[in-house]
């Protein structure tokens, strides 16, 4: 079942912060975050595993609340290069390496 | 490493024609995935292989679609006959061995247009 992402789109000015949420109705083992720029392939940002800690990648970090089956991606002091579509992909213990991706959140950072 | 290599990058064909998309995964990766991306349905997993063996093909839309992985360095996704609703970007991705739900390395994608 496809995870639900919110918001669907967000527009920021350079330097502003944003939060993208991903939730599932099923128990999750892992949450992946990817960024895709227009006309390009998705690029991996980070994985959060069940029982794992919050992770960070430069000014991009994420958390995973196992009990609520939710993950949030935090972008702080956004840069123009952060523009793109962000996807969360969720994995379940019983699904092996199969990921189900959300519909994506389109992030636009303006000067 | 050259990354995941897909061909062709763009394909325009007419309804009813056979389409073959190709993928070369990163050397040493033993998982290979085929995804389809459309505006309406987002990123959908079609099929994935582990050590050249198909593990889960439940995402393959219908019998017109087939995928093979004859060896560790090559996979094909075939559509026969193609239909306009098959128009999409098809991504191949591979991941490291032995890592459950590991990082996916995507190819540049094959953009298919069926007229």
Residues B39, B18: contact at Cβ < 8 Å?
no
Q: Nearest 5°: phi and psi at A91?
A: -125, 145
**Cβ count within 10 A of residue B86:** 21
Residues 6+ apart with CB under 8 A from A80: A14, A109, A110, A111
pLDDT in tens, A15-74: 999 999 999 988 888 899 999 999 899 999 988 887 666 666 678 999 888 888 899 999
Q: Report the range of poorest mean pLDDT among A32-36, B60-64, B96-100.
A: B96-100
**Chains A & B: contacts with CB separation below 8 Å:** 60
User: For residue B78, what pLDDT is reported?
Assistant: 98
pLDDT of amino acid A50:
75
Please state whether A103 falls in left (phi above 0), alpha (psi between -120 and 50) or beta: alpha
In sequence order, which residues have a C-beta less than 8 Å from that of residue B99 and are 6 or more positions away?
none
A96, two tokens: 């092996």
Contact with chain B for residue A103, Cβ under 8 A: yes
User: Between residues 44 and 83 of chain A, which touch chain B (CB distance below 8 Å)?
Assistant: 44, 47, 49
Q: What is the pLDDT of residue A95?
A: 55
Q: What chain A residue is nearest to B110 in terms of C-alpha separation? A: A41
* pLDDT tier at A98, thresholds 50, 70, 90: confident
The answer to whether the CB of B89 falls within 8 A of the CB of A30 is no
In the structure, what pLDDT confidence band is assigned to residue B83 with cuts at 50, 70 and 90? very high
Whether the pLDDT of residue B109 is over 90: the answer is: yes
What mean pLDDT comes out for the span A81-91? 93
Residue B45 has a pLDDT of 92
Q: Residue B2: helix, strand or coil by DSSP?
A: coil
pLDDT (tens digit per residue) in B65-77: 999 999 999 999 9
Q: B22-58: per-residue pLDDT in tens?
A: 999 999 898 999 999 998 888 999 999 999 999 989 8
Residues 19-38, chain A, touching B (beta carbon < 8 A): 29-30, 32, 34
């Amino acid at each position: 079942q496809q995870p639900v992402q919110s918001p669907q789109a967000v527009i920021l000015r350079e330097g502003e912060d944003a939060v993208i949420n991903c939730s599932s109705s099923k128990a999750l083992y892992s949450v992946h975050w990817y960024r895709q720029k227009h006309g390009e392939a998705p690029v991996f940002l980070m994985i959060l595993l069940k029982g794992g800690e919050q992770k960070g990648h430069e000014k991009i970090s994420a958390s995973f609340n196992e009990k609520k089956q939710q993950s949030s991606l935090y972008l702080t002091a956004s840069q123009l290069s952060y523009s793109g579509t962000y996807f969360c992909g969720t994995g379940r213990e019983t699904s092996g390496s199969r990921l189900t991706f959300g519909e994506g959140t389109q992030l636009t950072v303006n000067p | 490493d050259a990354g995941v290599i897909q061909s062709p990058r763009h394909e325009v064909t007419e309804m009813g024609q056979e389409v073959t998309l190709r993928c070369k995964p990163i050397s040493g990766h033993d998982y290979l995935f085929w995804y389809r991306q459309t505006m309406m349905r987002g990123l959908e997993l079609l099929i994935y292989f582990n050590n050249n063996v198909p593990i889960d093909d439940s995402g393959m839309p219908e019998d017109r679609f087939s995928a093979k992985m004859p060896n560790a360095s090559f996979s094909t996704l075939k559509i026969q006959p193609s239909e306009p609703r098959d128009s999409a970007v098809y991504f191949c991705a591979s991941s490291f061995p032995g890592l459950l739900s590991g990082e996916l390395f995507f190819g540049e994608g094959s953009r298919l247009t069926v007229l």
